[in-house]
């Protein structure tokens, strides 16, 4: 699986973006960043789709 096909957990996404899990939850509720997959009840984000969603929302990744 290449990096673009990598599935990220909520914790990995929050660390990548430099936001808390609560903020990530709020972004999901506002439909700014929506998980692309689920395994059981665990939401997962496809890395490539996450980048597209960030680009579309004009959200800035922490440096």
Confirm whether 22 is domain-assigned.
yes
Per-residue pLDDT band for 47 (boundaries 50, 70, 90) equals very high
Is residue 62 included in any domain, yes or no?
A: no
d(CA 26, CA 40): 21
- pLDDT tens digit sequence for 9-46: 999 999 999 999 999 999 999 988 999 999 999 999 99
CATH number where 52 lies = 1.10.1660.10
pLDDT at 9: 96
Examine the pLDDT at 1 and tell me if it is beyond 70: no
Q: How many domains does the chain have?
A: 1
Q: What is the pTM of this model?
A: 0.77
């Amino acid at each position: 699986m290449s990096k673009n096909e990598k599935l990220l957990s909520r914790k990995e996404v929050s660390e990548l973006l430099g936001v808390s899990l609560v903020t990530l939850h709020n972004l999901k509720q506002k439909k700014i960043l929506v998980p692309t997959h689920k395994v059981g009840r665990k939401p997962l984000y496809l890395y490539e789709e996450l980048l597209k969603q960030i680009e579309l929302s004009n959200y800035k990744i922490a440096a």
